[in-house]
């Protein structure tokens, strides 16, 4: 077990500085970067919802550069096959042997663009890899190299001809993050920086200074998992999730995996806030991205235009924080 | 008028059969009838277009002038029925002679008479006016209620057709060329839309008019045929012709035929003037003869009013009571059901309101303000001033001295929150965390107090959630500084 003592303070500080480093390139999306950090250090995956052209690829490329990890991108289409993700075995005429050609899933940071454009079978191939951290090709199992972070995107518009992820599949994502347009001044700064000296559509991530090595991430994840968590905090998270199941306006609430994810994300939040213990504030910060895709609103609220975040905020305001 | 050349089969018909006959005639000769109507109406519409009239008035006038367009149709029909070939052009040659008689009356006080189609032949074909016209209509008009129904039904069909055309026009115009929307087109039309309405009305009227005029004319023919025994006359004529051809005509039969034919032959240009009393007597005599000895009995239902003189039986009385009571009971039952339904709806609304009250507060989803104002408990801590000791700082210091850091700092933090809520009126929700309390306090309190509260909160969080006990000196220092920031008595 890699304990707190095993990691020197330098690694911890560099890990905490990762967010600021990425923000130098991905301008105007601090919330998104922060939430991706929660997923990275808790070993989870992120579902990003936002219109095209907001910098999702740039974000993952920057992250890959900052942690010196391997980056892959898959554009999900209706005719994408599971083997296009996981890889396949091919016959090598030269050596007269079967050879495994590994798919793009063998990387550290994977951008699964428009995941809902592919049928359920293809989605399942990726979701299985996310869950099991391994891939099976023709009966042979290949473990994925940690860290393995999937950042899957969904387009909130153009829902025609898509295959929406079912609730059970959504549950496999640790967080659901909304990416929206940045404010004018930040957009101006971003455009200026991206276009300076750039040719064509190439994304420039050269400004990113590597903060961590990819093999340090699993150590950090283990460190975060060891952070102190009071019994009252666990009780608070459980009460929060259980209340969400019976809360007015919520038709289907989160399961125990939601509570587990909430505590995992809260630990990272405490780590990023330079604390070695989790407070109720960390739970509250993590609650929205962790729970928003795990609840289904009642029809009348949906018709009235309420979002899951509205109901969750109401829940967070009304559930008493831990008693001490 | 030569009855022998009539194009229809003369026989006694019910009014409804007569209207059917009229419709058959209209179908048979639709095109000339339609053209005749349109040729009369189109010039009127053009004149109305040129006149500086409001569009709604022009539309109304177009409809109001209907008696101007219908007589040519009737005239043509009356000629065509007796095999007289009259061209549309010939009718228009004598248009004024046909239309002008009694036009003013037709366009004013007689315009809204429901049996217009039925009485029009009296004016147009018989040329009667004044008392003679009224007397004639009196004789013809008995059991002429079908003409009223013809007008009513025709009006409805006309409206349906007109609305259909109005809708059709917009439906077939491509979306890119559409200059208005449905609502404006129907209820707030611009001049172009209004003219399209009037054109639709013109087309609808032109399609219905031949049927209307022919239906009324058939009713008129049937009535005259009944009164003047045209069918008998025609039958006898044919009988006579058959006998003549066979060369077996006897003097007696010739006399009889001649007598009947000449005795019953109507004046063709205008109807016979019949004395009702004499006619009645004559009819009774004729009916008394053996040839008319057949009687038919037909039954029908007719309301005869309350029969109070007759003493009805107990069964009838009981049935009346039951049936009468049934209606009363039904109404009473309906009233009860209505009240119950209203009560149910009210109860449901009340239940819904209570169940969804959080949705109705603030932005729909949110808690009530009363929870934000001076709550008694936050974070599970009792914030009521009476629950705190008179000097919380001294009491906290005493607890810390005894080694109960948690108890001492908990008391200090609780007392601080109590002062912020009750003295500074800080609004804190029930589910607020320590961090949110700190955020809320910023801006409410002075900087030095804010710094102190921040330090206290951090120390308290470390102890409560991180199980990290502060140094003894720091804990004591917080207790000592507390009265300076929150005041000894302010919390008590």
DSSP secondary structure letter of residue B50: H
Instruction: Answer whether residue B30 shows pLDDT above 90.
Output: yes
Q: Between these two residues, B209 and B10, which has the higher pLDDT value?
A: B209
Which residue has tokens 């009805």?
B312
Q: At which of B291, B315, B332 does a domain end?
A: B291
Half-sphere exposure of B232 (CA within 13 A, CB side): 14
Q: Which residue has the tokens 């009348």?
A: A300
Query: How far, in whole angstroms, is CA A191 from its chain's centroid?
Result: 25
Encode pLDDT of A294-319 as tens digits: 888 888 787 877 888 888 888 888 88
Please tell me the predicted confidence (pLDDT) of residue B251.
52
Contact A314 B367 (CB under 8 A): yes
- Give exposure, A27-40, as e/b (b: 16+ Cβ within 10 Å): bbbeebbbbbbbbb
pLDDT at A2: 42
**Which residue, among B356, B427, B433, B459, would best test binding to A if mutated, counting the most A CBs under 10 Å from its CB?**
B433
The DSSP call for residue B83 is T
Q: Which of B212, B211, B231 is nearest to B221 (CA)?
A: B231
Q: Which residue, among A201, A200, A171, has the nearest Cα to A61 in the 3D structure?
A: A201
Q: Assess whether pLDDT exceeds 90 at residue B344.
A: yes
For A103-155, write each residue's pLDDT tens digit: 888 888 888 888 888 888 888 888 888 888 888 888 888 888 888 888 888 87
B212: pLDDT strictly greater than 90: yes
In which element (H, E) is residue A75 found? strand A71-75
Q: How many CB atoms lie within 10 A of CB A116?
A: 18
Query: If you average pLDDT over every residue of chain B, what do you get?
Result: 79
Residue B297 lies in a domain: no
A210 CA: distance to closest CA in chain B (Å): 32
Based on the fold, state whether residues B79 and B218 are members of the same structural domain: yes
Beta-carbon contacts of A125 under 8 Å, excluding residues fewer than 6 positions away, are A82, A85, A86
Give the model's pLDDT for residue B237.
80
Question: Which residues of chain B lie closer than 8 angstroms to A249, CB-CB?
Answer: 359, 365
Count of alpha carbons within 13 Å of A86, Cβ hemisphere only? 27
Most B CBs within 10 Å, among A243, A281, A286, A298, to test the B interface? A281
Nearest to B435 among A281, A318, A320 (CB): A281
For chain A, the C-alpha Rg in angstroms (whole number) is 20
Query: What value does the mean pLDDT take over residues A78-102?
Result: 83
Considering the domain architecture, whether residues B42 and B158 belong to the same structural domain is answered as yes
Please count the residue pairs, one from chain A and one from chain B, whose beta carbons lie less than 8 angstroms apart. Answer: 91
Question: Across the interface, do A281 and B468 touch by the CB < 8 Å criterion?
Answer: no
Give the residue from A47, A67, A71, A42 showing the smallest Cα distance to A57. A71
Query: What pLDDT does residue B259 have?
Result: 52
Q: Same domain, yes or no, for B244 and B287?
A: yes
- Model pTM greater than 0.80? no
Cis preceding linkage at B277, omega within 30: no
pLDDT tier for residue B24 given thresholds of 50, 70 and 90: very high
CATH at B482: 1.20.120.330
Q: Round to whole Å and give the CA distance between B408 and A257.
A: 38
From CA B452, how far away is CA B413, in angstroms rounded? 11
Residue B152 in any domain: the answer is yes
Place of tokens 């939601």: A258
In chain A, the domains with their CATH numbers are: 4-214 (3.40.50.300), 227-319 (1.10.8.80)
Distance, in Å, from the CA atom of A261 to the CA atom of A290, rounded to the nearest integer, reads 7
**Facing residue for B380 by CB, picked from A277, A317, A320:** A320
Q: Do A306 and B364 touch (CB under 8 A)?
A: yes
Residue showing tokens 């229809």: B8
**B70 neighbors B26 (Cβ within 8 angstroms):** no
Residue from A271, A317, A323 whose CB has the most chain B CBs within 10 Å, to mutate: A317
Report the relative pairing of strands B377-378 and A149-154 from DSSP bridges: unpaired
Residue at token pair 């500085």: A17
Does the interface ipTM go beyond 0.90? Answer: no
User: Is the torsion defined by CA of B131, B134, B135, B136 positive or negative?
Assistant: positive
Of B359, B436, B466, the CB nearest to A277: B466
For tokens 């929206």, the residue is A180
| Position B97 confidence tier, pLDDT thresholds 50, 70, 90 | confident
Q: Residue B387: inside a domain, yes or no?
A: yes
Percent of chain B with pLDDT over 70: 81
**Same domain, residue pair B284 and B356:** no
User: What are the φ and ψ backbone dihedral angles of B392, each rounded to 5 degrees?
Assistant: -60, -40
Tell me the residue range of the domain where B381 lies. 374-486
- What digits encode the pLDDT tens for the residues B305-326? 776 656 667 777 777 766 666 6
**pLDDT on residue B302:** 81
Tell me: the pLDDT tens digits for B271-285? 556 678 888 888 888
Split into its structural domains, chain B has a count of 4
Chain-centroid distance, C-alpha B433: 60
- B241 with B219, same domain: the answer is no
**Range of lowest pLDDT (B204-208, B322-326, B342-346, B482-486):** B322-326
Residue B335 lies in a domain: no
Kindly report which listed range (A67-71, B118-122, B243-247) carries the lowest average pLDDT score. Answer: B243-247
**Cα four-point dihedral sign A266, A272, A278, A281:** negative
- Given a cut of 50, whether residue B490 has pLDDT beyond it is no
Do B220 and B142 lie in one domain? The reply is yes
Q: Which of B355, B371, B387 represents a domain boundary (last residue)?
A: B371
**Stronger pLDDT, B253 or B218, i.e. the higher one:** B218
Structure tokens belonging to residue A51: 């219109």
Q: Are B150 and B23 part of one and the same domain?
A: yes
> Within this chain, do residues B348 and B258 fall inside the same structural domain, yes or no?
no
β-strands A46-49, A175-178 pairing: parallel
Tens of pLDDT, residue by residue over B283-296, are: 888 877 777 766 77
Q: Output the CA torsion A261→A263→A266→A272 (10° steps).
A: -90
Same domain for B64 and B47? yes
pLDDT at residue B159 greater than cutoff 90: yes
Residue recorded with tokens 């000791």: B389
Last residue of a domain, one of B183, B203, B228: B228
Better-predicted residue by pLDDT, B364 or A291: A291
Range B402-406 average pLDDT:
81
* Contact residues on chain A for B367, CB-CB shorter than 8 A: 314, 317-318
Tokens of A224: 């975060």
Cβ contact A318–B467 (<8 Å): no
The pLDDT assigned to B4 comes to: 66
Q: Which residues of B402-436 are buried (b: 16+ CB within 10 A; e: fewer)?
A: eeebbebbbbbbbbbbbbbbeeeebbbbbbbbbbb
Within a domain: B129: yes
Residues of chain B in Cβ contact (below 8 Å) with chain A: 355-356, 358-359, 363-367, 377-381, 410, 429-436, 461-462, 464-468
Q: Provide the mean pLDDT of chain A.
A: 82
Report DSSP letters for A163-194, one per residue: -PPPHHHHTTSSEEEE--PPPHHHHHHHHHHH
Dihedral of alpha carbons B306, B309, B315, B318, sign: positive
Residue of B nearest to A312 (CA): B365
- Note whether B464 contacts A324, CB cutoff 8 Å: yes
Q: Which residues pair with A99 in a beta bridge?
A: A90
Judging contacts by C-beta atoms under 8 Å, the chain A residues touching residue B465 are: 228-230, 232-233, 277-280, 322
β-bridge pairing A46-49 and A149-154:
parallel
Same domain flag for B73 and B180: yes
Query: Residue B369 — very low, low, confident or very high, per pLDDT cuts 50/70/90?
Result: very low
Selected residue with higher pLDDT from B39 and B232: B39
More reliable by pLDDT, B199 or B395:
B199
Task: Provide the pLDDT confidence category of residue B64 given band limits of 50, 70 and 90.
Answer: very high
Residue B339 in any domain: the answer is: no
Quick check: A321 and B377 CB within 8 A? no
Q: How far, CA to CA in Å, does A87 sit from each of A62, A116, A169, A189, B216?
A: 25, 20, 22, 40, 88
Query: Which range among B140-149, B306-315, B355-364 has the greatest average pLDDT?
Result: B140-149
At residue B481, does pLDDT exceed 90? no
Q: What number is the average pLDDT over the span B125-144? A: 79
Confidence class of residue B214 from pLDDT cuts 50, 70 and 90? Answer: very high
Convert the pLDDT of each residue in B225-234 to its tens digit.
Answer: 888 888 888 7
Whether A280 contacts A239, CB under 8 Å: no
Please tell me the predicted confidence (pLDDT) of residue B34. 93
Same domain, B216 and B243: no
Residue B369's alpha-carbon distances to A41, A197, A242, B69, in angstroms, are 39, 55, 25, 76
pLDDT of B160: 94
pLDDT of residue B365: 44
Q: Is there a domain that residue B15 lies in?
A: yes
Residue B87 included in any domain:
yes
Q: Looking at the structure, do residues B201 and B64 belong to the same domain, yes or no? A: yes
Task: State how beta strands A134-137 and A250-252 pair.
Answer: unpaired
pLDDT 10s digits, B445-462? 777 778 888 888 888 888
Q: Element (H or E) spanning B286, and its range?
A: helix B276-288
3-state secondary structure of A319: coil
Condensed to tens digits (0 to 9), the pLDDT of residues A2-40 reads 444 456 777 777 878 888 888 877 788 888 888 888 888
């Amino acid at each position: 077990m890699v304990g707190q003592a095993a990691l020197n303070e330098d690694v911890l500080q560099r890990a905490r500085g990762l967010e600021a480093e990425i923000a130098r390139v991905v301008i105007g999306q601090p919330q998104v970067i922060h939430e991706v950090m929660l997923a990275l250090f808790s070993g989870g995956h992120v579902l990003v919802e936002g219109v095209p052209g907001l910098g999702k690829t740039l974000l993952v490329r920057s992250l890959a550069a900052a942690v010196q990890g391997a980056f892959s991108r898959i554009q999900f289409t209706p005719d994408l096959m599971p083997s296009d993700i996981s890889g396949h075995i091919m016959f090598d005429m030269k050596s007269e042997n079967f050879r495994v050609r590994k798919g793009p899933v063998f990387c550290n940071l994977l951008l699964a663009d428009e995941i809902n454009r592919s049928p359920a079978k293809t989605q399942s191939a990726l979701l299985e890899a996310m869950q099991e951290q391994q891939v099976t090709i023709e009966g042979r199992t290949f473990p994925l190299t940690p860290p393995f972070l999937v950042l899957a995107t969904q387009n909130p518009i153009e829902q025609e001809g898509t295959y929406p992820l079912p609730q059970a599949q959504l549950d496999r994502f640790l967080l659901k993050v909304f990416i929206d347009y940045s404010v004018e001044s930040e957009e101006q700064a971003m455009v200026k920086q991206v276009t300076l000296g750039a040719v064509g559509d190439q994304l420039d991530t050269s400004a990113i200074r590597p903060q961590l090595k990819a093999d340090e991430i699993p150590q950090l994840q283990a460190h975060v998992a060891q952070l102190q968590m009071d019994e009252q905090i666990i009780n608070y998270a459980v009460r929060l999730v259980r209340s969400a199941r019976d809360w007015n306006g919520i038709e289907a609430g989160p399961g125990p995996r939601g509570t587990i994810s909430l505590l995992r994300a809260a630990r990272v939040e405490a780590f990023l806030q330079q604390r070695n213990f989790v407070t109720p504030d960390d739970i509250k910060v993590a609650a929205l991205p962790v729970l928003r895709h795990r609840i289904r609103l009642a029809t009348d609220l949906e018709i009235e235009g309420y979002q899951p975040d509205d109901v969750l905020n109401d829940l967070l305001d009304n559930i008493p924080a831990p008693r001490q | 008028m030569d009855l022998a050349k009539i194009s229809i089969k003369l026989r006694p018909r019910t009014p409804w059969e007569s209207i059917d006959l009229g419709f058959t005639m209209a179908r048979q000769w639709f095109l000339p009838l339609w053209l005749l109507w349109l040729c009369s109406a189109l010039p009127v519409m053009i004149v109305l277009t040129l006149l500086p009239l409001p569009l709604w008035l022009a539309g109304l006038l177009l409809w109001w002038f209907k008696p101007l367009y219908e007589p040519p149709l009737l005239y043509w029909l009356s000629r065509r029925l007796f095999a007289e070939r009259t061209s549309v052009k010939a009718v228009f040659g004598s248009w004024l002679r046909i239309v002008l008689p009694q036009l003013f009356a037709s366009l004013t006080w007689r315009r809204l008479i429901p049996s217009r189609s039925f009485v029009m032949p009296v004016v147009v074909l018989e040329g009667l006016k004044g008392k003679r016209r009224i007397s004639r209509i009196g004789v013809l008009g008995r059991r002429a209620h079908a003409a009223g129904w013809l007008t009513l039904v025709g009006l409805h069909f006309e409206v349906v057709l007109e609305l259909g055309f109005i809708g059709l026009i917009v439906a077939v115009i491509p979306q890119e060329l559409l200059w208005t929307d449905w609502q404006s087109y129907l209820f707030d039309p611009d001049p172009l839309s209004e003219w399209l309405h009037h054109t639709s009305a013109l087309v609808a009227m032109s399609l219905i008019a031949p049927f209307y005029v022919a239906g009324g004319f058939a009713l008129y023919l049937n009535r005259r045929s009944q009164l003047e025994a045209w069918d008998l006359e025609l039958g006898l004529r044919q009988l006579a012709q058959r006998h003549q051809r066979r060369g077996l005509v006897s003097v007696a039969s010739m006399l009889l035929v001649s007598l009947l034919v000449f005795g019953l032959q109507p004046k063709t240009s205008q109807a016979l003037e019949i004395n009702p009393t004499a006619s009645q007597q004559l009819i009774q005599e004729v009916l008394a003869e053996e040839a008319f000895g057949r009687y038919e009995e037909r039954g029908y239902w007719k309301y005869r009013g309350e029969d109070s003189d007759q003493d009805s039986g107990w069964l009838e009385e009981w049935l009346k009571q039951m049936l009468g009571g049934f209606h009363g009971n039904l109404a009473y039952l309906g009233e009860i059901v209505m009240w119950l339904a209203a009560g149910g709806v009210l109860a449901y609304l009340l239940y819904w309101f209570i169940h969804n009250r959080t949705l109705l507060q603030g932005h729909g989803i949110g808690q009530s303000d009363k929870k934000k104002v001076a709550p008694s408990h936050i974070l599970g801590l009792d914030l009521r001033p009476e629950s705190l000791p008179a000097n919380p700082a001294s009491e906290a210091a005493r607890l810390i001295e005894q080694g109960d850091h948690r108890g001492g700092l908990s008391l200090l933090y609780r007392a601080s929150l109590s002062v912020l809520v009750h003295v500074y009126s800080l609004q804190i929700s029930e589910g607020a965390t320590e961090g949110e309390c700190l955020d809320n306090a910023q801006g409410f309190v002075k900087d030095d107090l804010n710094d102190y509260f921040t330090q206290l909160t951090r120390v308290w969080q470390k102890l409560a959630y991180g199980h990290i006990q502060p140094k003894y000196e720091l804990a004591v220092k917080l207790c000592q500084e507390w009265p300076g920031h929150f005041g000894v008595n302010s919390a008590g």
